[in-house]
Amino acid sequence: MEISNRRGLTTGGSSGIGLALAQAKETPMMQSSRAGAELGFVREPAIAVADAICSGFEENAFEVIPGGEARTQMIALNRNDPAALDRRFAGMKAVLEEAVRDHSAL
């Protein structure tokens, strides 16, 4: 889950927050994926994501990026040098394909 730097609700208001992505990774849908922490994917229960969002509201945080330092660094790299992140994942393509070979979101 990430609360982006876009301020303003989807209704266009300027007093809310812009939500880029709120996603719990530790869900039944994700059980078939073997892409885990060793590949840079942290799975968090929905309650942890909700807690992070609430804490962000309470702290008037500009951003909330659960998932630890590795996730925060990945978000920063994507902002600052998206091609570098693309190269990183391209170098992991075979391993990622194997990890999600049997994954289904249905």
pLDDT in tens, 10-63: 334 455 556 666 665 666 777 778 787 788 777 788 888 888 888 888 888 888
What SS3 class is residue 106? Answer: coil
Find the angle CA(80)-CA(71)-CA(13) to the nearest 5 degrees.
70
Residue carrying the six token digits 């693309």: 86
pLDDT band at 64; cut points 50, 70, 90: confident
Residue 34: other Cβ atoms inside 10 A = 15
